[in-house]
Amino acid sequence: MNKRLGCTIVSVFAFFALLSLMAVLGFLFIRRQNERARSHLSVPMVLVTEPAAGSSFPAGSYLEVSATAFSKTPLIQVELWLDGELIEAQESLKTGGLTTFNANFSILVPQGEHSFLCALSIPLVWSVSLCQLA
């Protein structure tokens, strides 16, 4: 009878240990899935380091545009747009993209006042940084 009681106690202990392990693993799996879902919803940021916002440049000169993009989701491309027209795009050299993407563009400044923006290629997400050119 003692042997039977001992086996029952070990079996019950093993069952609860296995049940606890499954609960912990299930919790970790759900937590990871939630983090992945949230990372796809986070909005990336673009920091234009050159030129300063509101800067003026003479028509016919070349303007160097430097931008750093940050995102939890890897960025595959950074684009420079001038007055709604794509001027140049730079793709990530790393397969799958980068979470910090440094881009440098050189554009010929056209006559008149213009706006440019840097856009990031992430499905369904765009981040914009504006600078006026005169």
19-32 pLDDT, tens digit per residue, is 889 888 888 888 88
Enter the tokens of residue 30. Answer: 């759900």
Strands 77-82 and 114-120: antiparallel
Place of tokens 């606890």: 20
pTM higher than the cut 0.75: no
Tens place of pLDDT per residue across the chain (134 aa) = 577 777 788 888 888 888 889 888 888 888 887 776 665 556 777 778 888 777 777 888 888 888 888 887 788 888 887 777 888 888 888 887 778 888 888 888 877 776 666 555 544 344 444 444 43
pLDDT attached to residue 5: 72
In DSSP terms, 101 is beta-bridged to 69
Enter the tokens of residue 15. Answer: 């069952």
C-alpha distances in Å from residue 20, one per residue of 6, 16, 27, 32, 119: 21, 6, 11, 19, 47
